[in-house]
Each structure stands twice: as C-alpha cells, then as structure tokens.
Amino acid sequence: MLRIPCPWCGTRDEVEFRYRGDATRSRPAAERALEELTRYVYSRENPLGWHLEWWLHVGGCRRLLKIERHTLSHEIRWVGAPDAMPPAGKAS
Amino acid sequence: MMRSPMPSPPRSSAPASGPERTSSGRYSLWRLLREGLAGQRGWSHAWAKAAPRPRYRVVVVGGGGHGLATAYYLAAAHGISDVAVLERGPLGLGNVARNTTIIRSNYFQPDNVRFYELSLKLWESLEHTLNFNAMVSQRGALNLFHTEAQRDLFTRRANLMRLEGVDAEALSREAVKALVPLVDLDNGRYPVLGGFLQPRGGTVRHDAVAWGYARGASEAGVDIVEHCAVTGIRHEGGRVTGVETARGFVAADTVCLAVAGHSSELARMAGFELPIETHVLQAFVTEGLKPVLDVVLTYGAGHFYISQSDKGGLVFGGAIDGYNTYGQRGTLPMVEEVTAAAVTLLPALARVKVLRQWGGVMDMTMDGSPIISKTPLAGLILNGGWCYGGFKAIPAGGFTTAHLIAHGTPHPVAAHLDLARFAAGRMVDERGAGPFPWLH
Amino acid sequence: MRKTPVSGPESAITLATCPVDIVELAAFRERASDLARLAARRDIVLAGPGATAAHSGRLTLSVRPDRWLLLMPPAAPGASAEHCRQLCEGSAAAVDLSSALAAFLLTGPTVPEMLARACRLDLETRAFPAGRAAATILVQVPAILAQLAAGTLLLTPTTTARHLHEWLVETARPFGLALAPDATVSALCAEAST
Amino acid sequence: MTGPARIAQGLLTDPARPLAFRFDGAQLQGLAGDTLASALLANGRRLVGRSFKYHRPRGIVTAGCEEPCALVDLVDAAGGEPNRLATTLALHEGLVAVSQNRWPSLELDLLAVNDLLGRFLPAGFYYKTFMAPGWAWERVYEPLIRRAAGLGRLEARVTDHAAPAEIVHDHADVLVVGAGSAGLAAAAALGAAGLRVLLADQDVVPGGGTLLDARWSDWREEMCRRISALPAVRALARTTVLGAYGHGVFAALETLTPGERARFGGLRERLRIVRARRVLFACGASERLIAFPGNDVPGVMLAGAALGYLRRYGVAVGLRPAFFLNNDEAYEAVFALAEARVRAAAVIDSRPGAVAARRAQEAGIEVITDAVVTRVLGRRSVRAVRVAARNGSTRCVDADCLLMSGGHSPITSLACQLGARLEWHDGIAAFTADPPLAVGRAAGAARGIYGLAAAALDGATAARALAAELGRTVPPLPAGPVPPSDRDATPVAPLWEVRAPGKAFVDLQNDVTADDVRLACREGYEHVEHMKRFTTCGMATDQGRIGGVAAAAVLAEARGAPLPEVGQVKPRPFAEPVPFAALAGGEVRGHFKPKRRLPLHEWHERAGATFVNTGLWLRPLVYTQAAGWDAVLDEARAVRRSVGITDVSTLGKIDVQGPDAARFLDFVYANTFSTLAVGRARYGIMLREDGLLFDDGTTSRLGPTHFLVTTTTANSAAALEHLEFHQQSVCRNLDVLLTDVCDQWAQFAVAGPHAREVVALVVGDLDLTNAAFPFMAVAEARIAGIAGRLFRISFSGELAYELAVPAGAARTAWEAVLAAGRRYGIRPYGLDALNTLRIEKGHVTTAELNGNTTADDLGFQRMLKKSGDFIGRALATRPGLTAPDRLQLVGVRPVDRAHRLRNGMHLVAPGSPTASLGYVTSSTPSVELEGWVGLALLAGGRQRIGTRLLGTSPIHDESTEVEVVSPHMLDAENTRVRS
C-alpha cells in the first residue's frame, strides 16, 4: 500500500488520493496540430522505473500533487506542487 | 451439448525443423494406464527445450498465452513453422498463470462480441485441437444487476449477443437464487434485482493453456526458447530485422510482440510509444471446499467476481489498483474492497479462509480494448493491450495474430483492434470511461 | 501478554452534536495575508496549516492551504456567511457550509483507540496533540478531525452524516458510550490552544 | 482424567478446568489451554483426517500453523467453519469438530481405493485424459473430480446479519514480528530507547522457543515484565503478521481471547493494518520434513512438535517414539521426552556422528548413526520403522510414533515480499533473506542464527542498529537473569529424501510425492514454479511450509542442478489463511457503501416514497409502494397539467469564484460562459480531452466573479475532480476557487403550468413575470423567508423554477411550496416521473451521456464554441467522432401504440434483422402522447427520422415496428418553458 507524503497533510494512505496519471506531458494548446494533442491524450511513456505522475488528494487537502514514484519498487522519491519539477539528474 | 461446432484449424504435417526433438507422444487414457504399469517413466518433455537459431521467419517475443498460441496457429493453421518463441524466463508464468481463469464473450461492442465469440468457439474445441486437457468448463458466467440502469445496460448487451448468435439469458431474482444458493439477494445495501447468464461462459485451467499450446507448437516445429530475454529490437530502413537477446542476435522477417504488461518496454526498444499504461490486477484463492458454487459469478455493485476451481478453491478478483505499476504483487486496499464485496453478496463466505493473493501486470489501453496490429515499424506486429481480458482471448488472440502475420492483413474479427483507431477516433470503449486506463 | 488491554467501559466515550454555523474562507491568489489582516481586525485568528485556533468565541481550523473553516454560533440561514463575506472585503471567497457539514464532539481517553477502527491517521497524543486538525476519510466518507481541549471534533458532510454517526455509536458501544447534550461553539473553544 | 497421554503439567494447560468436546461424534475431554490437536493427542487419537487425493489416513504432524494434515470442519450454531487447523484451534467447552474428506467414515473411506490406483494417477494425470467425448467433461468427469476434490464443507446458507468484524489502524516506529528470544530482547531494547514498538506474536503467549526450554523461563518473564513497563511498547499475542505491503505497511491478524470476544459482540479476530518506519523480523525458523516412504502415516510427526506437545500441554505424542533426524536441534525433543520418562525406541541419525548423538548415547539412549528410515510399518498408526544403515545393514525398530526432523528453515516469506533475495547457507542447509536496510532487519533464527542465547544477542544487536537508524540510542539495560548458554552443536547434514519403494511425500496436504516431482521434471516442468503448478506442490493451505525445501531439493537432484539455483517458489501473502470476514472488516452488507440521504429523506419516507439506489444516494422513485406505471404517470400528469415539486438536491453543485472564474469555465466547458450576464443561467456541456461528452448541467452567474456550476448526480464527484485537476494543472495560473457546495443546498424543482403562481406565493417581493424573470433567469431570493436562490430552469419541459435553500431549512421551504400549491393540487414527483417528463421532452441523462457519445451525437453541435481553446476541442474533430454513421440521438415510438418499448431493445432494419443499428436508451409510457415513447442511439439516426425500423428484444422474445422521430417529441418550440 502506498503511503504518500502530502506536503500539506503529511504522509497518508493511498486510499485518500485519486490517481490522475502521467504528469510528464503538458497540454498543448488546441491550435496546435491534432497530432500533438493525440499524443498528449493517448500516448504514454509507461516506464518500468521512475514515473512522474499526478495524484489528487481528494480525501485530504484536495491539492494536486506531482509525484515521482518507481513503478516496480513503488518508492516515492519526490513530491511537489504542479508547477515544480523533480531535481535534475534524477530524471531516469 | 453446449459446444457449438467449430472446425479446428488443420494441423501442419510438415516435419519439424530445427533441433531434433522427442515428441511427448499422444495423451490418452490408454497411454496413462500403460505408463502407470511402467512406473510413469515413458513420458518426455511436453515441449522441446530449444536453443535459439540465428534466424527465423517469425520471432514471437513472449512465451505467454498469446505468444504461444500465435506460434501454434502460425504453424498449425498457416504452415509457418520457422518460428521461435523467445521467453525471458520459464514460459507461461506471466498473466496466463496469474488470472482468474474466466472465459466468456459477453461484450457491449458488436466487434468485441464477435472477437471474443471466436475465442469461445476455439476454447470449445481446445482439448481436441491440442490433445491436452485444459479443463474447459462451460459452467456459465452470471452477471448480477442491482439497479434498473444496470439492467438496461445488460439487456442491451444480451440482446446484442443474441442478434450476433451468441447465447445470453436474463434471470429473475428467484432464478439467480436457485442457481447460486450462496447469494444474499437483499444483502443490506444493493439488492440483487436479477442476473444475466451466458451459459457457455466458464473457466479453464490456466497453466494448462500455456503448456498445451507450447506442446502443440513445439510438435509442429516451433522453437520454444526459454530464458532468452529480448534486450533490443534491430531495424533498418524502417523495417524490423531481428531482436537482440541475452543469447545473441536473432534475425527475423517478422517480429511479433506478445508481452502484455510489458508492451511499452518492448515498444520503446523499437522506438515508439503505445497508448498503454501498466497496471496491476489482483487475484485471490481460498482453501479448498467441497463444491459450493457452480457458475462464474460477477457482482454488479462492486468490483468482485468469483468461481470455484475443480480443486475446490474459490478463485476471485476485483478491479485494478488504479496506478501505473509493474509490481506483480497484491496490495492491501484492494483486499479490503474485494473481500467486503464478497461478504456482502455471499455472507456464507465470512468464515471461509483466503489463502493467497497475487497480482499480474496488465497492458491497460486508453479505451479498454486490446491491440492486434501492425506498428509504426514495418514487420513488427503487436499483440497486446489486453487489459484484464487477455486470458479469455488467448485462442482468438493467437489465431488472429497468426493471420495478420501470415497474410499481412488483419483477420476480419480483429480488424477493429488496430493501433490507428486512437488517432482516428474509432475507440472501442466498452465502459465509456475515456482515455483513463485506471477507470477501465 | 496484552499489556494495554482495550480500555474497559469505565472509561466511557461521550458523543455530542454541535450546532454551529460553518463558513469557509478561501483566500484568492496571494491575498491570504490580506485576509489574515482583515480577520485579525475582527478578532478572528486564522489557524496555521493543520491547526485550530480559538478566539472570541469562534473556532477556526485549516486543513487546506489558504482555506479556513470558521465555526461560530448558529444564526439565521446565510447570516454568518454574509457577515464573513463583508469581513473579507474581496480578499477571499466566503462560502456558507453550515448546512453542508455536521459537527460532532467526542470525548474520553479511549477516543483515539475507538477511532482507529476507521481512522487511518495516527491519533496518538504525541502524533495528534490538542490544536491539530486534519482532513481524512472515515468509513468511506470525508471527515475533518480537530483535537481540542474539549475533545475530538469531527466535521463530516451532512448527507452522509447519519452513516458516520451510526458507525460512531456502534463502534463506541464496547468502550462505553454516553450520548451527551449538544456542545456549543464556546464549549469547543474552551481552553483550546491558540 | 483428560486423556491417557497427558503425562505431565503443561505450560499452558490448566488441570483444574476440564473441557468437554466432540470429535466425529465421540465425546472427549481436554483442558483449558489445549488446542484441539493437543486434546486429541492427549486422548490418544491419531487418525484425524483423510488425505486430499489418495484418501490415506492422516494424523497430526505439527503443533502450529504449518500443519498440513490436521484440518477439521468446525460445527457450531452459526453454521460452522471449514478447514480449521486442529493445531491452532483453541479448545473450548462444547466444541464440535468433524473430520474431512472421507466417506462414509474416517475409519472406512471408500475413496481410499485411489491410493491403490495411485500409479495411474500421477501428478497432472488429468491433463492427459478425460478428453473424449467432448460433452463428457462438464457432464461426467468434472463433477466427479469436483466432488472428490476440496476438503472442508461449507453450508450454503444466508445469515441475517454480518459476522462481526473490524479493521484497526496501527502506527509504530518499529514492528517486531515474533516474540521469541530475539524479538523479546529487541522489543525491550527498542522500547528502552523511547521508540514506539508493536511486538506481534502468533502464539497465545510470548516466548517462542524459550517456552520449550525450562531453563529460559526466568529470562522470559523478566523480558515480559520490562516490556509491560514500557508505555511505548505494545505487545500483541495471538497476532500473525499476514503480509508485507511496502511503504512500511503490514497486515496482521489478531485472534481475540474469549473475554474480548464477548466484549466486542462476538468478534473473533481483528485485522490490524500496521504502519511502521522499520520492521524487525524475529519470526524464527520452521522445522522440515524428510521425504521417505510412509512419512505420512499417523504418528509420524515433526520432532519439534512432539517437544511442543510435551512442554506446552503435558502430552506425550507416543510412549515409545523413534526419531529420525539430521540435526542436533531436534535432540532437544529426545532429551525432553526422556526426562519425562518417555524413552526413545531409537534415534536414527543420518549423520555419521554428532555432539548431540553422543550426549544421547551417554544418557543411555540408542542412537543409530549413519542410517535412515526406509519404511514405516502400520497404516492407521505407526507400529515400527525399518532402518537402513549406510553400511547396508537393515533392522526394524518397534515404535508407536516416529518423530522426524530434516533441519530448520528460517521464515523468510515476509522479507521476500519486501524484495529480499534468498541466499543459501550450507552451514544450516537453508535459505535466508535479509530485507533491504531501509525496510528493516531480520534477527535470530529468522536469519539462521540458531540457539536461544545467540538469537537473543542477535535481537538486541539488531535493536541497537534500528534505534540508531531512527535517531535513538538504546540506554544501558539493567542486568537481568543470565540466560543459559547454547549447547555446542554439530551442523545439520542435508537429507531431503530417502529413496525406497513406496510413496514419500513432499507435500502432505496435496498428496504430492517425490516421484511426482521427478515426473514433472521428466515432462519438462523443471522450473520450480512449473513443478509447483504441475504437481500442486506447496499450493495447499499450509503453503508447503514443512516440505517446500525437500521438494525443491528433489527437483534439483532430478535436474542435476544445485539447490540454490533451483530456489524456492515465491512466497505470497497471506502467512496463514484468513477468513473473508476478517479481511473485509465492518464495511459490509448494510455498511458496504455509505447511504447518502437527501436533506428531506424523512419527509419522503413519511410520504410513502419507494426509494431507489442511485450511486450512494437514496432517492424517491415514486410516492407509493405499489409497482406499475399508474402512480408514475399520475405524478407526471400533475406536472403537465398543473404543478408538481421534486427534490433535485442530488445534483452536483460547485461554487466557482475568482477574477478568472469566467475564463476557467470557458476552458472547461465546450460553450461560452464569459458572455453570460449576471443573473442568468446557461445549459453547458463539458467534454473530455478526447472530445467525447463528459457531463452537462446548468451554470449560473451569481456575480461578476461568482458562478454556480451544477453537474449530473452520477458524475458529481468525478466532475469536481475533473475541474479541480484542470484548475490546478493546466489552469494553475488562473485565480479561481472551487468549493463543493452540494450538501449545502437543498434544491427543488417546481414545474407545471401553475408553477409561477405557486412560486410567487413562497418567494417574497420578486417579480416573476417573463419580462422581469424570463426563462434562464437567476436571482437571490427569500424563499419562505429563508435566504436562498431562485432559478428559472426546466428539465421537464414545463414552465419551471428551481428553488435552493440551505439544506438545514429545506423542510420549511418544501412545505411552504406544498402549502402554496395545495389549491392547484400540487404533487411531489419522483425520479420515475422526472424521467417520463424528460424523455418526452428529449432531454438526456447518463443513459445517453454514456461516455461514448459526442456533442454532435446528442444534437449539441451548435453549442461548441467556434473560437478559443477548451477541453476536448481538438480531438472532437477526428474522423471517427464525426462520421455520419455514428449513433445519434433520436426519438422512437411503436407504430402499434399498444406495444411497449424496452430499454436495451435494439433497432434493426426489417431486411437484415440481425444487424444492430442502435438501441433504445430510455423509454416510458407517455403522458402527452399516445403509447410509449423512447430515446434511442441510432446509426446515422438524424437521417433516418421519418423512417420505420424494427425494435427487437430477443431476450424477451419481443419485436415491434417503431417509427424514428425527432428526440424532441413534446413542445419542440419550447413554448411551455417560456410561457
């Protein structure tokens, strides 16, 4: 069971959160090519390894968190606000 | 007389190529008795343990249900036996060994009904096709409903199935109770209003499916290479040329990926991304009991389905955990959710003990339906994206993937499962959940 | 060898309903300090993150960044919210939640032990001392917990409040449960840490 | 007397409290403190069950949760419990147990014929036969196999209340698993360091191995005393850690004492979910069997179990035991029994010599070294054993039981679940597994440190390391009783199997023999996981605890590979079988999901409403308990003809405020809200980013920077999350705040030609004329004197208003409307009537907004704004979403007005009656039109308006001709809503 360190609420059980998927892409504006939006909506890196992802703390502060988690060990090594990025050099 | 007739694909009579292999011989009651008198010493390997050769016409990556079935049908139905199945570990220990063994063809999308119905028909003749008893048990798959909205959806589905010539029946509350005395129709929260039964649905001994296809493929000349991890996909001028493996480069005209759960990792080696996320689906088994449940039962007010294996254990499962993971293990919140649904619907289970939980990792696609398709890399075929419906699809998945490889064009019942559907907006979305794999 | 047996019925739990008006103040972008200044002018202390504060018969607690719940004595429907709206002077949204949240007060030394039957937070005194507040989920419904000198305050959505209340009554029974008369806001504020 | 074999005072049994119990009908007596197994053994009962496949007689093999054979069905008033382990089942007065898997009786079991046919029924025989004829599997073979398989019996009956159950959430700095010498020493040290410790032990009392050695009692008592004195250490007996789930989370099952059980309403066990910063595995090692022919005859037991029965319960498992062993630890049982005047018939030690063997010989016990047992004589009980020495000599030793020990395996399953890798150690002939340091450590026998003193020292050392990692120091501890030092020992010599004619079992519960393992290997199932699955070895309730390594060793030999390379099967939760009830906790049946009640729930109840579950909500469906359409149509008719009122409080309501509120709504909705005037409402649709419809609802502008969004009931939680997600990600630069106000506001629709007059009576000083308050107007209003809001919006297609008041004042407002409407015959109407009204009008709900429809499909194409970005804009233009043959919303009516429609009915062309063109989503008898009306999603539907199709419902055997019409079957010009 994941225990997610929410910066606002402290460490909480995963059941308080709603997963919102891959956080590596930012949404292209609609004027951009259809292809880019298609990629944004459908295409996933889906790595076996470190994964940057969204979790919405619906059972707590209702804040959106950006989390870097390992998809095999489930270790969480970074949590930040939506506009933050994990420290460089930890990208892979 | 539940089985509907389906001609089994012709078996290749071409002599086996590659290393000399000892056949495991034909299985039968008489042979079993004969071997019994001889101390069961006359059996040999069910499938030959092959070493990879430098090149094949087709390399199938992944020795699971779909990979082995694809190889089997390539050889048996299309006469293409210059095939290797490369498996990174021992064969058949991925999702084919980690599911809840259910087969059925009750789907909402007409194209899906046709595809899974082909699979059901192939299941019905499987032991004869393979001369391996995988214990296909058509005991019926029963979906309960608890609201009128749910009844309407299931009515729509059952009517569609009937239009397509597939069996489906509506059951009253009383009929549900008669079929499954364990059910508490009122259950305190979401009373059972009725059920929909597919009598031809049921279960199959999952491991035996992998072993049976492996044996069949091996006898038809396919090289089954275990402990041979693929580490790279080589291509030239936009066309695949072979795979790098832990045991050297293996050249191939066609490479087929059948590694559901890990499709994204292999696609990355080939240089593209997929509309897939990997999620874990859990399953559980109880201690053995004398027969107490005779159908595959699905709860409609929570994520829970259950059947009883021939050994007596109740096999059950629930929903995916809902976040990307490659961890093939069970987690705790799902235990609570699934068992709560179990005790609510079947209160007599309260004192029955759960033995084990485990998890399998699924390719969850963006519309909840699988992918059998050509890919951006010519010569690379994808069989994946099985979500949590991969097991029941093994025969049809292998059959139609073999067709795509052999003919270069999709089999008509699998044409809707192409990769291009996402960009084109032709999603095959059973639940209408949209591009959120964790909701499917 | 259980050295700390589940406490006996002599250490009873009391459960009271709290008739209160509740208004949420949510500061607009970068206006939290304006709001704090305006609130202070009216003798309202805005609690820090995950904390409660009591002043002049009002209790505030904060379980969401830049949002505060104000608990005050009940007035005519909408009146408390209107009062708060004026107080904010546009620095914050003042949203009436008086009818959206039900408030219960639990007292007794075994309350953390009882709540541990649903609460996934560590309510042990060192981990959740008086003055702390947190939003979480209890028996599948949202709940805000605040540790006050007067006891453990529980706020929960009204449409599922009966579900939670029934659970509390059932679960507290083996610990010895007494239903207490309504607790007022001033009772909640009593000796609360600031 | 409590049994002929009770020869001494047990540590746990109370001779003053005899308990009566029944086994297979026989009335027997045991003592308080006994397990069913110890009581049966005390009574000299050997035969307790029949084996799974061969129906061979089986007895008790172990003294704990690793028991493979002594499974019984418990019978009691509550319906009983199948497959209880006699070895862990606490005896209580009046306990009734029956043996399993035998017919007609335990003594005479006809299916024992399987044992004689065993040569024809090797592992996996069923894969090779039963294939013809095709129909026979389900009809003949499978029913036979199913009946023969399975163990316990479950009564399929439905009880009227849920079994009590609860889940408790725990937190600790360190979870110590196991309270043997290592665990006790560690917990005392960690507690002294000021850490919060949870010490969990599965036994009924702490002590582990120290309970079996009288010399350790002082030390044990001192440690327990110290632990009790530490407030931060909680010690839980009868608590098994079931599984490790990462992030410091563990599940543990606590069995309640009778006293606690009475207090908690009959609760039998509670599941504890423990969150710990570190874990210490001090869970010991378990003894292993040796595979030899007849190693399953009742009376063949683990040596350690015999020691346990003697020390714990004062029971001698036999009076003339033979021993077969390969390690010095097992001699403890030899010595202890000898001390209790149960002399060994002989000790057969596979090693050429050993320290312990010499000690035994010095004590006058016969030790046959360098020898093995090749056969057990006796079928229902051991009579004698045949011994073969390495030098070729054989002899027969008369004995009434055979106590075996194949060495010990550290218990590593929890560590392995956390990613620890198995490592082989020749010195102990066993695997160990060290958890990652960030997770915790193992200590004592759990990591192969045998000997109580060595383990205690190891536990204390591990505790110091853990304390340091957590920033604490273990202070110098007071000197306590000096524990006895461990005896010298000769290392174990691996011995897995004695190859001789006959069935030598490696899995006693699933009846898997060493020959089965070899057969698997011969057939190519040579990976340990394949072997497991082919033979079912290790898949029974005991998970192969005592025979798993032996099976792997047999496989290794057959493969010609070293055992460490073959490895073991991967351990999975749960450490012991757990009842469903315990895992599920209390949120079952009536509490399975919360019930969400309307503010006026009690009013609706008193008004006689039938309630319907929609998600969590309980909503009034119709105000009668009678079935049928009459009442529904009466309610709907009241709305069409006069006036009705309905409770729409379930709609999601989101308060949106901020300078950028309008910009935000323009982005999340497909239509425009920035142009909406204050005091006006607009119907809006939200798309998902993939271009399909997500939700719809009315949004009102209450002020320049203040909006109120409503969502559908079904999507209210998802819509809030959807908006919050976008507000905090894509739109994070916008200054806008979202607040869920669903529960704050009660909302009622007052609809019908007389709605204006009724509403005017309850709304003070608001001009409701069309000019002042037209369709889609919104205003703050005093409703029956309460500060509320008034919306002129309509779902029914009639002149309608929605009134919103704080939920606490709902009753006042609702009753005021009823009073005002009395003269017009106002009726409350439920969900069914609401549905009838909206279908006639062609309004959609979640039946049509089903996640697969586009704006265009439902006729909303004109609402999509032409400029500006919004969610779903781009992808909605994909060819698949704009194809002319998509399913589009239409109305349908049976041509024969006497025929009915059904939801889920398909539409087909008369010429091709099996090709579905679409389906009916919603249907109802009509109030305003003759007969039934329905909404349907139909391929190229708009083009088909005016044509006729066949509506067919094969599962009902129904078919009827329908005409395709516009979905707006009533008042397409909207004159009523604007009247």
- Reported as a single tens digit per residue, the pLDDT across D554-574 is 999 999 999 999 999 888 899
**Which residues from chain B sit within 8 angstroms of residue D952, using beta carbons?**
159, 163
**Which residues from chain D sit within 8 angstroms of residue A37, using beta carbons?**
689, 874-875
In this predicted model, what pLDDT tens digit does every residue of B348-404 receive, in sequence order? 999 999 999 999 999 999 999 999 999 999 999 999 999 999 999 999 999 999 999
Mean pLDDT value across residues D795-812? 97
The rounded radius of gyration (Å) of the Cα atoms in chain C is 17
3-class SS letters over chain B: CCCCCCCCCCCCCCCCCCCCCCCCCCCCHHHHHHHHHCCCCCCCCCCCCCCCCCEEEEEEECCCHHHHHHHHHHHHHHCCCCEEEECCCCCCCCHHHCCCCEECCCCCCHHHHHHHHHHHHHHHCHHHHHCCCCCCECCCEEEEECCHHHHHHHHHHHHHHHHCCCCCEEECHHHHHHHCCCCCCCCCCCCCCEEEEECCCEECCHHHHHHHHHHHHHHCCCEEECCCCEEEEEEECCEEEEEEECCEEEEEEEEEECCCCCHHHHHHHHCCCECEEEEEEEEEEEEEECCCCCCEEECCCCCCEEEECCCCEEEEEEEEEEEECCCCCCCHHHHHHHHHHHHHHCHHHHHCEEEEEEEEEEEEECCCCCEEEECCCECEEEEECCCCCCCCCHHHHHHHHHHHHHHCCCCHHHHHHCCCHHHHCCCCCCCCCCCCHHHC
Q: Which chains touch D (3 or more CB pairs under 8 A)?
A: A, B, C
Q: Where are the alpha helices (DSSP H) in D280-330?
A: 303-313
Q: What is the DSSP letter of D544?
A: T
In A, minimum Cα distance to D738 occurs at A62
Q: Which residues contact D379 (CB under 8 A, 6 or more apart)?
A: D57, D297
Q: Which residues contact D867 (CB under 8 A, 6 or more apart)?
A: none
Binary contact (D419, A73; C-beta < 8 A): yes
In D, minimum Cα distance to A14 occurs at D247
In C, minimum Cα distance to A57 occurs at C136
Residue C113, pLDDT score: 96
Mean pLDDT value across residues D936-959? 98
Q: Is the pLDDT of residue B6 over 50?
A: no
DSSP states of D916-933: EEEEEEEEEE-SSSSSEE
**Which residues from chain D sit within 8 angstroms of residue B310, using beta carbons?**
142, 145-146, 149
In this predicted model, what pLDDT tens digit does every residue of D414-437 receive, in sequence order? 999 998 999 999 999 999 999 999
D971: how many CB neighbours lie within 10 A of its CB? 17
Beta strands in D523-650 (DSSP E): 578-579, 596-597, 610-614, 617-622, 644-647
Q: Are D787 and D732 in contact (CB under 8 A)?
A: no
Nearest to B348 among D79, D129, D251 (CB): D79
Quickly state the pLDDT bin for C55 (edges 50, 70, 90).
Answer: confident
Mean pLDDT value across residues D354-367? 97
Q: Give percent of chain B with pLDDT exceeding 70.
A: 95
Q: Are B241 and B235 in contact (CB under 8 A)?
A: yes
In this predicted model, what pLDDT tens digit does every residue of B283-301 receive, in sequence order? 999 999 999 999 999 999 9
D95: how many CB neighbours lie within 10 A of its CB? 23
Binary contact (A16, C142; C-beta < 8 A): no
Q: Is the pLDDT of residue B15 over 80?
A: no
Residues of A contacting chain B (CB within 8 angstroms): 1-2, 13-15, 19, 21-22, 35, 38-39, 41-48, 51, 53, 71-74
In this predicted model, what pLDDT tens digit does every residue of D854-891 receive, in sequence order? 999 999 999 999 999 999 999 999 999 999 999 999 99
Nearest to B339 among D120, D125, D580 (CB): D580
Q: Is the pLDDT of residue B19 over 50?
A: no
Quickly state the pLDDT bin for B3 (edges 50, 70, 90).
Answer: very low
Residue among D300, D325, D289 at smallest CA distance from D506: D289
Q: Are D914 and B164 in contact (CB under 8 A)?
A: yes
Q: Is the pLDDT of residue B12 over 90?
A: no
Touch between chain C and chain A (3+ CB pairs, < 8 Å)? yes
DSSP states of D77-95: TT--EEEEETTT-B--TTE
Helix, strand or coil, per DSSP, at residue C14: strand
Binary contact (B289, D524; C-beta < 8 A): no
Shortest Cα distance, chain C CAs vs residue D594, angstroms? 6
Q: Are D680 and D701 in contact (CB under 8 A)?
A: yes
Nearest to B27 among D129, D543, D592 (CB): D129
Residue D133, pLDDT score: 85
Residue among D856, D846, D850, D848 at smallest CA distance from D934: D848
Residue D480, pLDDT score: 82
Q: Is the pLDDT of residue B9 over 50?
A: no
Binary contact (D743, C93; C-beta < 8 A): no
How many Å apart are CA D220 and CA D243, to the nearest integer? Answer: 27
Binary contact (A21, B274; C-beta < 8 A): no
Shortest Cα distance, chain B CAs vs residue A81, angstroms? 19
Compute φ and ψ for C104, nearest 5 degrees. -125, 150
For an interface test with B, which of D73, D100, D128, D595 has the most B Cβ atoms less than 10 Å from its Cβ?
Answer: D128
Q: Could you tell me if D594 lies within 8 Å of chain B, comparing CB atoms?
A: no
Q: Give percent of chain D with pLDDT exceeding 90.
A: 92
**Which residues from chain D sit within 8 angstroms of residue C140, using beta carbons?**
587, 593-594
Residue B13, pLDDT score: 38
- Mark which residues 417-456 of D lie under 8 Å from A by CB: 419
In A, minimum Cα distance to B367 occurs at A42
Quickly state the pLDDT bin for A91 (edges 50, 70, 90).
Answer: very low
Residue D420 tokens read as 């620890």
**C-alpha separations of B123 from B103, B201, B393, D70, D133 in Å:** 8, 10, 9, 39, 15
Residue C11, pLDDT score: 61
Residue among D186, D846, D208, D183 at smallest CA distance from D467: D186
Residue D2, pLDDT score: 63
Q: Which residues contact D268 (CB under 8 A, 6 or more apart)?
A: D163, D164, D255, D256, D261, D579, D581, D582
Q: Is the pLDDT of residue D668 over 90?
A: yes
Binary contact (A45, B273; C-beta < 8 A): yes
Query: What b-and-e string marks burial along C65-79, b requiring 16 or more CB atoms within 10 Å of the CB?
Result: bbbbbbbbebeebbe
Higher pLDDT, C194 or B391: B391
**C-alpha separations of C63 from A20, C132, D749, D881 in Å:** 22, 9, 35, 43
How many Å apart are CA D455 and CA D463, to the nearest integer? Answer: 12
- Mark which residues 349-388 of B lie under 8 Å from D by CB: 349-358, 366
How many Å apart are CA B28 and CA D129, to the nearest integer? Answer: 5
Q: Are D450 and D461 in contact (CB under 8 A)?
A: no
Strand partners, D618: D597, D613
Residue D457 tokens read as 């020292």
Helix, strand or coil, per DSSP, at residue D840: helix
- Mark which residues 855-884 of D lie under 8 Å from B by CB: 875, 878-882
Query: What b-and-e string marks burial along D847-883, b requiring 16 or more CB atoms within 10 Å of the CB?
Result: bbbbbbbbbbbbbbeebbeeeebbbbbbbbebebbee
For an interface test with C, which of A3, A11, A16, A17 has the most C Cβ atoms less than 10 Å from its Cβ?
Answer: A16
DSSP states of D393-444: -EEEEE-SEEEEE--EEE--HHHHHTTPPEEEETTTTEEEEPPPTTTEEE-G
Shortest Cα distance, chain C CAs vs residue D264, angstroms? 6
In this predicted model, what pLDDT tens digit does every residue of B129-169 receive, in sequence order? 999 999 999 999 999 999 999 999 999 999 999 999 999 99
In this predicted model, what pLDDT tens digit does every residue of D88-133 receive, in sequence order? 999 999 999 999 988 888 888 888 888 889 899 999 999 999 988 8
Q: Is the pLDDT of residue C192 over 70?
A: no
Helix, strand or coil, per DSSP, at residue C39: helix
In this predicted model, what pLDDT tens digit does every residue of D26-47 receive, in sequence order? 999 999 999 999 999 999 999 9
For an interface test with B, which of A18, A34, A44, A74 has the most B Cβ atoms less than 10 Å from its Cβ?
Answer: A44
- Mark which residues 569-598 of D lie under 8 Å from C by CB: 586-587, 591, 593-598
How many Å apart are CA B213 and CA B395, to the nearest integer? Answer: 9
- Mark which residues 192-251 of B lie under 8 Å from D by CB: 205, 207-208, 211-212
In this predicted model, what pLDDT tens digit does every residue of A45-68 receive, in sequence order? 999 999 999 999 999 999 999 999
Touch between chain C and chain B (3+ CB pairs, < 8 Å)? no
Binary contact (D657, C140; C-beta < 8 A): no
Helix (H) or strand (E) holding D371: strand D371-377
Give the C:D interface size as CB pairs under 8 Å.
Answer: 139
**Which residues from chain B sit within 8 angstroms of residue A14, using beta carbons?**
323, 333
The rounded radius of gyration (Å) of the Cα atoms in chain B is 22
Binary contact (C136, A59; C-beta < 8 A): yes
- CA dihedral (B398, B400, B401, B406) positive or negative: positive
Residue among B186, B304, B298 at smallest CA distance from D160: B186
Residue A73, pLDDT score: 94
Nearest to D224 among C1, C164, C173 (CB): C1
Q: Are B92 and B208 in contact (CB under 8 A)?
A: no
Shortest Cα distance, chain B CAs vs residue A50, angstroms? 10
Q: Give percent of chain D with pLDDT exceeding 70.
A: 99
**Which residues from chain B sit within 8 angstroms of residue A19, using beta carbons?**
322-323, 438
How many Å apart are CA A89 and CA B89, to the nearest integer? Answer: 32
Binary contact (C63, A12; C-beta < 8 A): no
Shortest Cα distance, chain D CAs vs residue B365, angstroms? 14
Exposed / middle / buried, residue B153 (Cβ in 10 Å: 0-12, 13-18, 19+): buried
The rounded radius of gyration (Å) of the Cα atoms in chain A is 14
Number of C-alpha atoms within 13 angstroms, CB side, residue D421?
Answer: 4
How many Å apart are CA B274 and CA B267, to the nearest integer? Answer: 7
User: Is the peptide bond between D164 and the residue preceding it cis, with omega within 30 degrees of 0?
Assistant: no
Residue D79, pLDDT score: 66
How many Å apart are CA D19 and CA D100, to the nearest integer? Answer: 23
Binary contact (C95, D596; C-beta < 8 A): no
Q: Give percent of chain A with pLDDT exceeding 90.
A: 87
How high is the mean pLDDT of chain B? 93
Residue A92, pLDDT score: 42
Binary contact (D581, B44; C-beta < 8 A): no
Shortest Cα distance, chain B CAs vs residue A24, angstroms? 13
In this predicted model, what pLDDT tens digit does every residue of D270-294 receive, in sequence order? 999 999 999 999 999 999 999 999 9
In this predicted model, what pLDDT tens digit does every residue of D180-220 receive, in sequence order? 999 999 999 999 999 999 999 999 999 999 999 999 999 99
Q: Is the pLDDT of residue C5 over 50?
A: no
Mean pLDDT value across residues B10-36? 68
Q: Are D253 and D239 in contact (CB under 8 A)?
A: yes
Residue D148, pLDDT score: 87
Q: Are B342 and B306 in contact (CB under 8 A)?
A: yes
Mean pLDDT value across residues D829-857? 97
